[in-house]
Structure 1
Amino acid sequence: GNFFGSEAPDLKRNDTEEMYNFGIKHFFTDSLSAFGNVGRSARFATVDELFQFNPLGAQEFSVIEPQTAEHVDLGVEYEADNISGSISAYYMDIDNEIHFDPTTFTNINLDPTERKGIETTVEFRPLPEVSIRGNYAYIDSEFDEGPFDGNEVPLVAKHSASISANWDINSIFTLSSIWSYVGEKRFDNDQTNDFGQKIPDYDIWDMKLMGEHKGWIASFAINNILDEEAFDFGVRSNFTPGRYNALPLPERNFILTAGYNF
């Protein structure tokens, strides 16, 4: 042990999981195609996720199983000279999702969850130097087993969308802008879905001017132009009913960068 005798005991462990991905794509015409994917992925806990303090303040290793996910995606794509787009539907089954429990300050495995949804993207180029892109996603995320079976998974918004535009002003300058929307979602630590409050939906508008000339690179960005007050993460209190802690997003801010490529 160390000077205070509080170091974690040794841990030796081997985990093995299968990972694969298979896909197929068929062209009906030069512009229209359909695709499908099936796959399995895995994520192993990092040392930092395994190593933590127990309620008595002693250091220890937690037993965290590998996170695995199986998914199926089906969709169609269209691409022409000045317009392209895609729409896809997917299903994902996740086991042992690795999650930080803010009430115990430890990492745990969640009960099995499933996610199913739709994603669609459209890009339009009205001029060679201008592109406009829109995206929308819908996600239905629920616990699939355990005491919270059928409940919504915290911190997953059902709706999200974005619209971006890019303008190549000339050979030096490019102006880009993006509007992003994230729908309401349940607070962390609200697996029971009975908190009665949700993290509110919000939208953010950013803009950025970039320039590149003879090795010099510079940019000026205005983020959250409309100075919206919002937060993307919040956790339900275990001790005070109706209270929560939240991590606010930055309000209006400016970023100036400059550099030179040798």
Structure 2
Amino acid sequence: MDLSQSQYLTGTSNTRTQEINSLFGRAKVTLAEQLNTTLGARVTRDTNKLLNGATVDNEVFAVELGLEKLVGDQIVSVRLDQNFRIATLDEQVTYPAPAFTATDTPIAPQRGNSIELGWKSGATQTTIYYLENNDEIFYDPASFINTTVDKTKRYGASYSRDLSVISSIKASITGSYTYAKFDDGAYDGSHVPSTSGYLGSLKLKKTISDQWSIDMLSRFQSAQYSINDWSNTFGRRNAYLFTNLNVNHAGKLFSSKLTVGNLFGKKYDSYHLRSGGNLFRTPAEPRSLVFEISASL
């Protein structure tokens, strides 16, 4: 069970508040030898007090059902899952142009249903999934307003593996594919913006001694539509591959780490949007050097 409460201060005497109460439970039950099931449920109620003094209540409920079968040294699983997301206070107070005055924009909870199939053997794991969301929450930078899209669907797969290259070098590989489209409304058939179809990473760790190690992490992201290009008018952009390098030292009293961020100085955007036919972009961090030291007392 959890409880949270927050306030949104608008710079005036008006205050917007939100209170969220949740009750949840999860149980794992053995059905037969080497066959387990997981049952879970969560109910959440949130109360939003608007700037005009009115109150908006939402109540959502979600369940989870999973089956896991051990076959030799392999695990095969299937999971049916409901999900939801409640809009935060920040998302429900906007400053629309041209007045830019704090305005109530109540947003209904986002809800979804998914199915996932999984397989795991040792340090190798793969999953495939299908997900449908209703009233998915989106921010429209052109109008400065958070809104919802009637229906979206996603399906894809992911893969991960840990392995030893040689005795002193370990590698971790991940990769995923995501197909995401609007499935209703004005943008029916368009790809969901700010979503990359392909993601991947490779981490290499070299152990030099008990105290010294070096690791390098490279991440790849395929091109995507700008966050507010819901109609996919302007094409995909911002595919990149960047690498971070860490040199680590672990001592009895002091530990330290030297990080070279964006090792090869790759230029890409951390954020990009379209407005009035123009592209607005926030460049990502350039190459950086950070040194950290910590003590164990």
| TM-score, shorter chain, exceeding 0.5 | yes
In structure 2, how many angstroms separate the alpha carbons of the residues matched to 1:112 and 1:68? 10
Residue among 279, 283, 296 paired with 1:244: 279
Q: 1:121 to 1:218 in 2, by over 3 A?
A: same
In structure 1, how many angstroms separate the alpha carbons of the residues matched to 2:249 and 2:169? 16
> What is residue 35 of structure 1 aligned with on the other side?
77
1:135: how far off?
Answer: 1.1
Report which stretch shifted further, 53-62 or 90-99. Answer: 53-62
What is the one-letter code of the residue matched to 2:60?
E
> What is residue 20 of structure 2 aligned with on the other side?
none
1:109-188 correspondence to structure 2 within 5 Å: 109-188=148-227
> Unmatched 5+ residue regions in structure 2?
1-9, 16-50
In structure 1, how many angstroms separate the alpha carbons of the residues matched to 2:11 and 2:252? 58
In structure 1, how many angstroms separate the alpha carbons of the residues matched to 2:198 and 2:66? 27
Task: Give CA-to-partner distance per residue, 1:107-140, whole Å, 9 cap, x none.
Answer: 1112311110011112112445432111111100
In structure 2, how many angstroms separate the alpha carbons of the residues matched to 1:4 and 1:136? 48
SS of 1:111's partner is strand
In structure 1, how many angstroms separate the alpha carbons of the residues matched to 2:233 and 2:221? 22
In structure 2, how many angstroms separate the alpha carbons of the residues matched to 1:72 and 1:3? 44
In structure 1, how many angstroms separate the alpha carbons of the residues matched to 2:108 and 2:195? 22
Task: Give CA-to-partner distance per residue, 1:36-95, whole Å, 9 cap, x none.
Answer: 11111211111111122243333222121111222111021111xxxx212211011111
In structure 1, how many angstroms separate the alpha carbons of the residues matched to 2:146 and 2:155? 25
Contact 2:81 2:114 in 1 (8 A): yes
What is the one-letter code of the residue matched to 2:250?
E
Contact 1:199 1:233 in 2 (8 A): no
Q: 1:15 to 1:130 in 2, by over 3 A?
A: same
> What is residue 292 of structure 2 aligned with on the other side?
257
Determine whether 1:202 maps to 2:233.
no
TM-score between the two structures when normalised by the length of structure 1: 0.89
In structure 2, how many angstroms separate the alpha carbons of the residues matched to 1:73 and 1:3? 45
In structure 2, how many angstroms separate the alpha carbons of the residues matched to 1:25 and 1:70? 19
In structure 1, how many angstroms separate the alpha carbons of the residues matched to 2:67 and 2:259? 40
Contact 1:6 1:59 in 2 (8 A): no
1:232: how far off?
Answer: 3.7
In structure 2, how many angstroms separate the alpha carbons of the residues matched to 1:255 and 1:19? 43
Contact 1:6 1:58 in 2 (8 A): no
Structure having the larger proportion of residues in strand: 2
Residue among 214, 219, 222 paired with 2:257: 219
Contact 1:199 1:231 in 2 (8 A): no
SS of 1:48's partner is helix
What is the one-letter code of the residue matched to 2:247?
L
Contact 1:9 1:60 in 2 (8 A): no
What is the one-letter code of the residue matched to 2:255?
I
In structure 2, how many angstroms separate the alpha carbons of the residues matched to 1:193 and 1:121? 31
Q: CA RMSD in A?
A: 2.0
> What is residue 272 of structure 2 aligned with on the other side?
234
Determine whether 1:78 maps to 2:121.
yes
Residue among 104, 111, 132 paired with 1:61: 104
What is the one-letter code of the residue matched to 1:47?
L
Q: 1:11 to 1:170 in 2, by over 3 A?
A: farther
1:157: how far off?
Answer: 0.7
Task: Give CA-to-partner distance per residue, 1:153-207, whole Å, 9 cap, x none.
Answer: 0010111111111223222222111111100111122111122x32231100111
In structure 2, how many angstroms separate the alpha carbons of the residues matched to 1:215 and 1:66? 49
Contact 1:75 1:89 in 2 (8 A): yes
SS of 2:55's partner is coil
> What is residue 137 of structure 2 aligned with on the other side?
98
Q: Percent identity?
A: 18
